[in-house]
Amino acid sequence: MTYPALAKLRVVDAMHPGLISCSPEAPLRTVARMMATYRVHAILVTAHGAGELPGDRRWGIVSDAALLRAAEQGDLDEQVAGAIADTPVLTIASSDELARAAQQMLEYGASHLVVLERRSESPIGVLSTLDVARALAGFPATHL
């Protein structure tokens, strides 16, 4: 699949640098407050020990959609981020073509990709479908 409007653009050209994260034990009400305060649609969940996230993953992600599904199930003060975090997290390198990121989002039905620095494989930002839409529209990236 080709995206002429994304030609020559890299993930780093459209992504939001930096991450907003929480621990797996963070109550979902806290996660909701973080989303509202920072005006983001996803929070990275960072595990510091084995068994904190499904499959012993280092990272998970709580999207606004997952938060809404959890709210339907009960009290957000009693549910924690690690219990609803999506794992494994879909990732992409900052140097990858933006068209590849768009294709990955479509293929997996994802609205967010965690952007990794290629050498260290450390998370350095997030790319959302809105970021791709801005690139398609020809708007410059908006960095928080």
Alpha-carbon span 136 to 62, nearest angstrom: 26
pLDDT tens per residue across span 21-59 = 999 999 999 999 999 999 999 999 998 876 777 777 888
Tell me if residue 22 falls in helix, strand or coil: strand
Residue 34 CB burial class (10 angstroms; 0-12, 13-18, ≥19): middle
Please state, for a pLDDT cut of 70, what percent of the chain lies above it. Answer: 94
Give the whole-angstrom CA distance, residue 114 versus residue 94: 9
pLDDT category, 144, cuts 50, 70, 90?
Answer: very low
Q: Which residue type sits at 33?
A: R
Tokens linked to 18 = 């930096």
What pLDDT, in 10s, does the model give residues 115-141? 999 888 889 999 999 999 999 888 766
Q: Is the pLDDT of residue 96 over 90?
A: yes
Q: Where are the domains of the chain?
A: 4-137
Distance CA 38, CA 52 (A): 25
Under CATH, which number does the domain 4-137 receive?
3.10.580.10
Residue 74: per-residue pLDDT: 87
Q: Is the pLDDT assigned to residue 63 strictly greater than 60?
A: yes
Q: 38 Cβ partners below 8 Å, 6+ apart?
A: 20, 144
| Residue 64 and residue 36 in contact, taking contact as beta carbons nearer than 8 Å | no
What pLDDT is attached to residue 142?
A: 57
Tell me the average pLDDT of the chain: 89
